[in-house]
Structure 1
């Protein structure tokens, strides 16, 4: 029966409204006082049922809810035969709850739209070479799939053949089509605008980038901010306070109607709904624009950030550096290159990719063993020869001598902004390579806007040499630049900043960034980065789009301000109503509930403005 009544709340609300209208018509048009009373009695009884059930269920878990205030008020009004007010109060309360649910559903529409975009089928290559349409659950990693014009890409994968233009708005928030060719990455849920491609599946189902977006945003919308936790605590004490106040007023004045009216006026409905609807709207906006905010608490912390620390390669720079200088020593170039190419093929680091792209026609040697030295490079064994590839720190730590003339050349290259990759075989330095990356376009303008939003410090920390880091910092107008840093050095530096009282956000994309991302108050991962960085972060900028950072920060600040506005509106309404009750003549139970529901509508509409929020960059 309880479940049945809850499911019929909307029908009860409509029936209550019809009864109230019928009662007014009977009384004021046909002068039928009996029909007037009967219709309002029925409306009061059926209207209070779902409210009283909710109040009882809350009491079972030792929570004194707003529903209890309304239930007591309605029962009291019924006892003193104020049938008109009891019926109107129940209808308005049910109508307010309906508006809240409808609006929350609307603010979640961005996530619902994403869910509906999830692919359900795929064209899978079978053993006979033909492509057969199968359910998405039947697709496994390494399967080869065909995607045609107008279809959704079913999985995360790599293009094997063909070319196409793909709309990646579901991942990046940008509706501009992106050209995909052989070896390009494609993402589930994106739409192929023009062309035909064959892809090999790398991630399927919930493991795809698209699946993670939905999962992360749903989790974020269910989390609670500090403001929401405060309101929960506030409501725990506030509701009993209103009950006690009404009791005291009744004892002193012996005015039952006045005490009941206090119960109705004290309902903080707008306060309860105001903060959650702001957070849900803010998170929904972010999801639609390629920004994942992992929860309401993240929004609160992000809005207070005064220092943003960046990794360099792949974050401030494009992450597609090019080999611009190479020198070889001790051995012939043709003998050294296969060792370098074979080892660097094992790495996903942007510098390694620059080298392998440059040496793509080189011979590959079988590797016996590799060790990745975080912040240093790679140590490998090939044909019982030990190969060291990395920076000067790696060489010095392994006792490999770097001659003075080579050190001079390294200094010159670093001053020109090159990243240095050294190679040693059997503890002899055999190669020096200089690699340069380009700063991301329009980033200087974005960072300037971020400063205008109140971020005082923009710092770059990099494992790269100081010269190349300084050049990037100067070009972007950063506050500070520190190079030659290992992952633990970055983490220690962030700890120092936090101890000084700064609110820190760290932006990075690699495995070596994950400790700093996890440590900072707000960890921000580039969506094209590693899974580890994305999982440990609080904010994800999809598809490597750091140009979304101003929107993310602006959205967090706008959402926080919106929450505060809603709290002030809600508290202000309660204060005005209670003051007017004692020192005015216009407030009664029905008007009080009407004003409450109007205030709920106001905070809902205020929160929904966040769905249209856009950051304007001058």
Structure 2
């Protein structure tokens, strides 16, 4: 298809041809001085014209050109109106069609041409705007790689990206797009992950790191094991989610649609009554034109598409218009501690020995032997420290029983090993644990998570694990308040003392500690009963009940989880805390734009109605003002495509490796 064919079948060809015919008509009218009159119109036409204006009409070349302009611009409008009528729907196109055809019948060719021409321009503007606001989706599609270099039969082969097979080794060279989701098995490099996470600074990758399709290599050479191909890549899931979200209707849009189904017929009835009462056909036709709810109908979808597109470009996936509207009402945010306010990489910091016949490494050895069979996140730093100290467990313990909210019980070499808190000790009949409880409380006051270790009925020591507070956690909480969130609440299973230490350092408004998963659900429900619209930020596993109960469930670092991308109400693709206030701020901006657009649309209709009955507003002027209001609504929504103060201020910063609280350093070797 050449450029002319693309233009001819594009959005602007009808408006351009119609506009040229209108200009040619004016040129003939003024240059020929009316010399090219052709013939008198049929008698029924003359009668209609006399009834409307008191005089007959003649065909001139200028009138024929104006009629041709109306037919060119009005053909698709009438066709759309007929299609809508077939489905028993009275559309805006029908209002314009009746008005234009009526204008032709009474011989008012200029009004017919002007109305259809301006409406065609409006359609072209709407289409162009929706394409522009959907540009984020187009950009995502554009970054999808076309080719891949794989290793087959010991040789490099360049193939189409969709032909890569699971488990193949893909080579990613400097400047190339990553064609698959996968894991780096060799090499180092830096990848631009802006298309996935919205972060502009390249991320260093080495062996064992995860990479995503559509990211771009800025340096180095990587060998990647393909673990996700084609439609199973994170990029494909994002494209699918954004496409669905931009088409999903908000509650306000659904209301406007229902309103339009009654409003449009009401305009017909108003125009008919006005025509019958005043015996003025032109007045009735003018009312049809100015009553068009075009700006009202487009006011919501253009804002939603722009808002969701802006968010997607910044690595924030919002499930749809309904969730965008709800996010604008968020007044309370509940966050988990580990992995949200903290880095999520705890380290062993302290070993307190309580048994006189034990050494520090003995306590660590017994604890590691028991934790070798535990899936709890705090088991990892204990095992890592034991490996580093040379006392890593050999083999696995016998029975390992997790006690929810308290710790674990393990069988190690025929001995019962308890690791947990004071309630765990009490549950298993150990009553004299005051020394251990005192040591645990002191460690917790420093922001560390203590774990008491006992063998059979004897206390042997207390271990402490600490997680570094994220540097941007305090700024995130302050920004949420700036964005209109009333309170930020910490919901954690950790002890009260640890939670208070983290809360004090980050500026948390309210703390709920020592919570089980069902307790988090109850805390969210309690905030909702207090009238709050609650957003819950969690990992989707332990926090699943609370996430489901919250008005908005937020998944952080969702780039590595296809489930989170598909199911979370808001998925923050990167691991940047500042994306959270940005998403709330963007939602509020979008809803404000939606409200402004509704006011603009309704105010325009009211002003035109007053103008018609006061005199001075014709069909062409009415349509011009109407399309002007559509343009204003569109431009207002386009403001959402700009970054707000949160996204502008957000650049990825290097996090300090230093700890946020005293004693947050790993045990020395």
d(CA) in 1 for partners of 2:134, 2:416: 56
Contact 1:374 1:512 (8 Å CA) reproduced: no
Contact 2:368 2:382 (8 Å CA) reproduced: no
Cα shift at 1:436 = 0.8
The SS at the match of 1:149 is: coil
Q: Are 2:304 and 1:279 aligned?
A: yes
The SS at the match of 2:645 is: coil
User: Which residue matches 2:24?
Assistant: 22
Contact 1:151 1:191 (8 Å CA) reproduced: yes
- 1:337-368 CA distance string (max 9 Å, x none): 65346335x56x3x344334333453552578
User: Which residue matches 1:614?
Assistant: 644
Q: Are 2:590 and 1:559 aligned?
A: yes
Q: What are the residue-to-residue correspondences of 1:156-195 with 2, within 5 Å? A: 156-195=181-220
Q: What are the residue-to-residue correspondences of 1:137-286 with 2, within 5 Å? A: 137-286=162-311
d(CA) in 2 for partners of 1:373, 1:147: 46
Of 607, 611, 634, the match for 1:576: 607
Contact 1:374 1:487 (8 Å CA) reproduced: no
d(CA) in 1 for partners of 2:420, 2:489: 24
User: Which residue matches 1:541?
Assistant: 572
Q: What are the residue-to-residue correspondences of 1:422-433 with 2, within 5 Å? A: 432-433=462-463
Q: Structure 2 length normalisation: TM-score? A: 0.84
d(CA) in 2 for partners of 1:614, 1:404: 54
Root mean square deviation of aligned Cα: 2.9
- 1:127-166 CA distance string (max 9 Å, x none): x444433333333444333222112223333322222122
d(CA) in 1 for partners of 2:234, 2:429: 43
The SS at the match of 1:308 is: strand
Q: Structure 1 residues 312 and 570, CA, compared in 2 at 3 Å: closer, same or farther?
A: same
Q: Are 2:131 and 1:105 aligned?
A: yes
Of 85, 107, 112, the match for 2:111: 85
Q: Are 2:429 and 1:403 aligned?
A: no
The SS at the match of 1:93 is: helix
Q: What are the residue-to-residue correspondences of 1:128-527 with 2, within 5 Å? A: 128-326=153-351, 332-333=362-363, 336=366, 339-340=369-370, 342-344=372-374, 346=375, 349=377, 351-360=378-387, 362-363=392-393, 365=395, 403-421=433-451, 432-527=462-557
Q: Structure 1 residues 191 and 318, CA, compared in 2 at 3 Å: closer, same or farther?
A: same
Q: Structure 1 residues 160 and 601, CA, compared in 2 at 3 Å: closer, same or farther?
A: same
User: Which residue matches 1:3?
Assistant: none
d(CA) in 1 for partners of 2:254, 2:487: 30
Q: Structure 1 residues 221 and 91, CA, compared in 2 at 3 Å: closer, same or farther?
A: same
Uncovered stretches (5+) of structure 2, i.e. residues with no partner: 1-7, 38-59, 651-669
The SS at the match of 2:578 is: helix
d(CA) in 2 for partners of 1:372, 1:591: 76
d(CA) in 1 for partners of 2:413, 2:155: 43
Q: Are 2:96 and 1:70 aligned?
A: yes
Q: Structure 1 residues 468 and 340, CA, compared in 2 at 3 Å: closer, same or farther?
A: same
d(CA) in 2 for partners of 1:16, 1:113: 33
User: Which residue matches 1:39?
Assistant: 65
d(CA) in 2 for partners of 1:159, 1:370: 34
Cα shift at 1:64 = 1.2
Of 115, 118, 123, the match for 2:141: 115
- 1:387-409 CA distance string (max 9 Å, x none): 76655566666767783322222
Cα shift at 1:320 = 1.6
Q: Structure 1 residues 375 and 24, CA, compared in 2 at 3 Å: closer, same or farther?
A: farther
d(CA) in 1 for partners of 2:222, 2:423: 44
Q: Structure 1 residues 452 and 71, CA, compared in 2 at 3 Å: closer, same or farther?
A: same
Q: Structure 1 residues 410 and 558, CA, compared in 2 at 3 Å: closer, same or farther?
A: same
- 1:417-440 CA distance string (max 9 Å, x none): 112345677898776421111221
Contact 2:319 2:570 (8 Å CA) reproduced: yes
Contact 1:219 1:295 (8 Å CA) reproduced: yes
Cα shift at 1:335 = 5.3
The SS at the match of 1:160 is: strand
User: Which residue matches 2:46?
Assistant: none
d(CA) in 1 for partners of 2:414, 2:61: 101
d(CA) in 1 for partners of 2:149, 2:17: 51
Of 622, 637, 648, the match for 1:592: 622
Decide which moves more: 77-86 or 51-60.
51-60
Q: Structure 1 residues 155 and 76, CA, compared in 2 at 3 Å: closer, same or farther?
A: same
Contact 1:524 1:538 (8 Å CA) reproduced: yes
Cα shift at 1:541 = 1.6
d(CA) in 1 for partners of 2:238, 2:369: 40
- 1:48-86 CA distance string (max 9 Å, x none): 221112112222222211111111111111111111111
Contact 1:375 1:487 (8 Å CA) reproduced: no
Q: How many pairs does the alignment contain?
A: 608
d(CA) in 2 for partners of 1:333, 1:571: 74
Contact 1:9 1:50 (8 Å CA) reproduced: no
Contact 1:514 1:532 (8 Å CA) reproduced: no
d(CA) in 1 for partners of 2:198, 2:306: 16
Contact 2:293 2:601 (8 Å CA) reproduced: yes
Decide which moves more: 45-54 or 228-237.
45-54
Contact 2:241 2:565 (8 Å CA) reproduced: no
Q: Structure 1 length normalisation: TM-score? A: 0.91
Q: Structure 1 residues 581 and 191, CA, compared in 2 at 3 Å: closer, same or farther?
A: same
The SS at the match of 2:343 is: coil
Contact 1:402 1:429 (8 Å CA) reproduced: no
Contact 1:122 1:134 (8 Å CA) reproduced: yes
Cα shift at 1:579 = 0.5
Q: Structure 1 residues 320 and 576, CA, compared in 2 at 3 Å: closer, same or farther?
A: same
d(CA) in 2 for partners of 1:305, 1:137: 41
Contact 1:310 1:460 (8 Å CA) reproduced: yes
Q: Structure 1 residues 134 and 607, CA, compared in 2 at 3 Å: closer, same or farther?
A: same
d(CA) in 2 for partners of 1:142, 1:381: 39
Contact 2:189 2:205 (8 Å CA) reproduced: yes
Q: Structure 1 residues 395 and 73, CA, compared in 2 at 3 Å: closer, same or farther?
A: farther
